[in-house]
Amino acid sequence: MCGIVGYVGNKNAQNFLVSGLKRLEYRGYDSAGVVTLDQEGNATLIRAKGKIANLESCMAKKKRDDVIGIGHTRWATHGEPSEANAHPHKAGSIYLVHNGIIENYKELKSQLKNHDFKSDTDTEVLAALIESFYQDGKHPLVNAVVQALKLVKGTYGIAVVSEKNPEEIVVARSGSPLVVGIGKDETLIASDASALIGHTKRAIYLKDGEVAKVSKDSIEVKTLNAEPVSAKVEEIETNLAAIQKGGYDHFLLKEIMEQPESLAETLRGRVDTKNNLVHLGGPGLSEAELRKIKHLIVVGCGTAHYAGTLASYYIEQFTPEITIETVVASEYRYRQAYIPKDSVALIVSQSGETADTLACLREIKKQGAKTIGIVNAIGSTIAREVDGGTYVHVGPEIAVASTKAFTSQVIAMVMFGITIAQAKGVKNTILRSYIEEIAKLPDEISKLLNSDIPNAVKTMTQKYAKYEHGIYLGRDVAYPTAMEGALKMKEISYLDANAYAFGELKHGPLALVDDRFFEVVLLPKGALYEKAISNVQEVLARGGHVIVITNEEHFDLPVDDIVKITTDLEIFAPIIMNVISQLFAYNMAVAKGNNVDQPRNLAKSVTVE
Ligand code: M6R
């Protein structure tokens, strides 16, 4: 949520800033800005409402060859998206870009009588506060930043420059990521390493409570208490191809199509089909610790929550002595929930930076339960703070709507469940079918993506684009899959789509069925198939417009559309069905002319509450 970039070196700063912001645009895109300084400290501030393309048009009229600057792409929290509220914010000689929220900004603002506030943002208050300690510029900027940050309550990742010292940038973090890239005679700043790819492979990931003073050839990291930190230099693993569209019209379609490979990465080295075993090194729990687990808490937001819910339906099928609770992080963090002894929490997050999920992780750790991350972004805050974890390794997910991460999160969690079951002595004959199907899943997804079905879904979508509402329905494992399908649809097509457990339909939602609605029914073969068929008939009897996605070849009810999947899978057929839901939502968003990768009002990584 929001993106920060910074540059100090010998090259054109504007060029790096704008290209970096484009890479971070998926994190927030309602306004953007950059400031650069020339050798005398004269600043060129350019800000624009809307996308980076608008900022670029403004920049075309103010081209500079300055070699230091900072930039920001915003997802509004305080104050509407506008040029005045866009970052960088100026106070005296300093300019500040900020991710996060300053919670006590009102109180601080009331004390800053000498600053004429021009925006509605909490960030301008922090800029003014830093300026109040800096003023004459006789003391180092870093000291003023530290003094100000000591008064701040909230979260921040910041970058600051001053007209009085056009050779250095000060950065700091608490709860919002910041990476310092080390180049040859240049130092690059970003809130997400993807902005640094192609410029350097070496980076320092600041930790909470750290502040750094950087110039083109030096980086000094300290704590807010002025203790020097010998920061670890790490390698950035992602490559350029992973953050490009690679010939697809949208990142979302690329990421849907990538699922066979991304899931294969999740499984690499972890599934042993010869011996029917799963090996996960990351969680770091001994056999004895795994055996002791009695309760699993699965924490996440949005798609990560649905992935957790679906995984828990699976895990409880083969780990009889465990209770599993899946919780929405934004709720759980404020509940007075009792965490039973011998609990382990799975902390699920693609970005590894989601504020609510992170807050739960910290709370759960305080209460003494072990935490295991199911994370994609390597080196992210959650990945660093959990006791152990399993990276899903799907590579960068750029589209705001999560697709490939969902598939891999579900399977990574099921594999963790199998690891527990193995330790608890659950019979290999019970686990074998799960392991065999997991191993086949990448090929089965590939089979689907290379069949006629994606085109058929595209054609079918044209018919449904005129509807105003969608209802997604499923039973058992198809129910969380339906929830994820509905989220995808509403998020990118802006269609009002909601999911219900099929059995709940006649307890209320059935009243909705009319010509404004279509109903997507996920109908896997299995124990509850016949019951779900009766539910479909109830909808049809009331004039519903039903689309059925099924792997049952004999399905023959007179529904509006049928998507029949041919797959060897039985247990994990819902994962394949979800790929169809992803394609349906994608085509719907395209048909409606929406911004598929950056849907309105949203941002990729939700680093504020
Ligand atoms: O990065 P995280 O997995 O923690 O993100 C959680 C949600 O914000 C995320 O899944 C969101 O719901 C997606 N936009 C859904 O497609």
Dist. CA 602–CA 591, nearest whole Å: 20
Dist. CA 235–CA 202, nearest whole Å: 5
The sheet that has 469-474: what strands, in order across it? 496-501, 469-474, 517-523, 546-550, 561-564
**Contact residues for 246 (Cβ-Cβ < 8 A; gap 6+):** 254
Annotation marks residue 604 as catalytic = yes
Dist. CA 69–CA 96, nearest whole Å: 10
Mean pLDDT of 530-558: 94
311 lines ligand 1 (CB under 6 A): no
Q: What is the pLDDT of residue 30?
A: 87
What's the gap in Å between 405 CA and the centre of ligand 1? 9
pLDDT at 28 over 80: no
pLDDT at 258 over 90: yes
The atom of ligand 1 lying closest to the CA of 350 is 3
Contact 514, 543 (CB under 8 A): yes
**Fold match, 3-242 / 452-609:** no
pLDDT at 542 over 90: yes
Nearest CA to ligand 1 atom 7: 302
Band (pLDDT 50/70/90 cuts) for residue 172 is very high
Write the DSSP symbol of residue 194.
G
Mean pLDDT of 144-159: 96
Q: What is the pTM of this model?
A: 0.85
CATH, domain 452-609, list 3.30.465.10, 3.60.60.10, 3.40.1390.20, 3.40.50.10490: 3.40.50.10490
Query: Domain 245-450 carries which CATH code?
Result: 3.40.50.10490
What's the gap in Å between 348 CA and the centre of ligand 1? 10
Contact 48, 31 (CB under 8 A): yes
What's the gap in Å between 570 CA and the centre of ligand 1? 27
pLDDT at 314 over 80: yes
Task: Express each pLDDT in 429-487 by its tens digit.
Answer: 999 999 999 999 999 999 999 999 999 999 999 999 999 899 999 999 999 999 999 99
% the chain with pLDDT above 90: 87
The atom of ligand 1 lying closest to the CA of 409 is 3
Topology annotation, domain 3-242:
Glutamine Phosphoribosylpyrophosphate, subunit 1, domain 1 (3.60.20)
Dist. CA 195–CA 172, nearest whole Å: 18
- Domain positions in the chain: 3-242, 245-450, 452-609
pLDDT at 78 over 90: no
603 lines ligand 1 (CB under 6 A): no
Task: Express each pLDDT in 509-537 by its tens digit.
Answer: 999 999 999 999 999 998 899 999 999 99
Mean pLDDT estimate for the chain: 94
Range name among 42-51, 195-204, 274-283, 341-350 with the lowest pLDDT average: 274-283
What's the gap in Å between 350 CA and the centre of ligand 1? 7
pLDDT at 26 over 90: no
Q: What is the pLDDT of residue 605?
A: 81
**Contact residues for 60 (Cβ-Cβ < 8 A; gap 6+):** none
Annotation marks residue 2 as catalytic = yes
Contact 372, 416 (CB under 8 A): yes
Q: What is the pLDDT of residue 81?
A: 83
